[in-house]
Structure 1
Amino acid sequence: MTEPKLLPHAYVLAVHDLKASTAYFVDVLGFAKDWNDGDNWQAVVRGGVRVTLGSCPDALAPAALGDHNYFGFFATDDVDALHEEFSARSAIISSGPADKPWGWREMAVATPEGHRMMFAQKI
């Protein structure tokens, strides 16, 4: 029997400030608003990736998770172009594009609340 494919493309994040987090994903990272549920939820999309932001003002801060606050690995065909785009919009870039021995060129990006994500291009 063949194993079913999994195609990761949807993430759910608890955020303290829904409005500010939405603005960062839209204005800085280039996502577009999708559906929302008033002041509770806002989904944003870019390409085949969806991030659903949930208002959780009392949730544990991502910074308190230490190394475990990475939530997504986003494959792209041009990580250097994304770096230019994000830099021009003042994104929080933790580490610029760099070739890794495991065959990916990776760039780490964070949100103002401390969620971290990796954007990477297969080399």
Structure 2
Amino acid sequence: MARTARTKKTAARATRARKGKTAAPSARSGARSQPDRRTNAFETLRLRSIEPILTVSDIERSIRFYTSMLGFLAEERYTDENGVLQGVMLKAGVCRIGLTQDDWKKGRDRERGVAVRIWCTTVQDIDALAARIKASGHPLASAPADEPWGGRSVAIDDPDGFHLTLHHPR
């Protein structure tokens, strides 16, 4: 009986392989990414997380924004050889975001936050979050609204113009 189940699994695996629907090798197996011979493309990345690091103009101001306004916790702080804060990793739930000071770019004019959109999914009440943000004196980029695809969202811009959308999927 066990042999029959194993044979069915082997046959199913062979069918998926013929159709190009094979599972990615596990990270534990030590298997290396191999090109798909039909397309000469490598398989997709097997990421465990993605942590954006934002370059900010005033790291202390940005830390206050993310911790006081949004409730992130400062996990790791990075200083230069003189003890001056240069970076921080912030955490909210299982998600992390990094901030790095832009001192090394002084004298270069560039816009921050342009074309950067950060989508944050939360189980918290969007209207309550929006009310808390407004009560603190920070403007909303867009008022809380129901989305056509479902859920409710509110948007804010951080001090450097990075656009955050807080979304509750319902």
TM-score, with length taken from structure 1: 0.81
Q: Is 1:11–2:11 an aligned residue pair? A: no
Structure 1 runs of 4+ with >6 Å offset: none
Determine what percentage of the aligned residue pairs are the same residue: 24
Per chain length, whose mean CA-contact separation is higher, i.e. which structure has more relative contact order (CA < 8 Å, sep 6+)?
Answer: 1
CA distance 1:98–1:40, change in 2 (3 Å): same
Q: Distance in 1 between matches of 2:72 and 2:58?
A: 17
Please tell me whether Structure 1 or Structure 2 has the larger radius of gyration of its CA atoms.
2
Q: Runs of 5+ in structure 1 lacking a partner?
A: none
Shift of 1:61: 2.2
Q: Is 1:53–2:99 an aligned residue pair? A: yes
Alignment match of 1:114 (pick from 142, 145, 161): 161
Give the number of the structure whose residues are more often strand, by fraction.
Answer: 1
Q: What is the aligned-residue RMSD (CA, Å)?
A: 2.3
Q: Runs of 5+ in structure 2 lacking a partner?
A: 1-21, 25-44, 80-84
Alignment match of 1:92 (pick from 107, 116, 139): 139
Alignment map for 1:29-108 (pairs within 5 Å): 29-38=70-79, 39-57=85-103, 58=105, 60-62=110-112, 65=114, 68-70=115-117, 72-77=118-123, 78-108=125-155
One-letter code of the match for 1:61?
A: E
Residues 42-70 of structure 1 show CA distances to partners (whole Å, capped at 9, x for unaligned) of 1111212211101124373225x2xx132
Q: Give the length in aligned residue pairs.
A: 119
Equivalent residue for 1:28? 69
SS of corresponding position for 1:87? helix
Residues 61-116 of structure 1 show CA distances to partners (whole Å, capped at 9, x for unaligned) of 225x2xx132x111112222221222222333101210111223111111121111
Shift of 1:11: 2.0
Equivalent residue for 2:15? none
Q: Distance in 2 between matches of 1:62 and 1:92?
A: 18
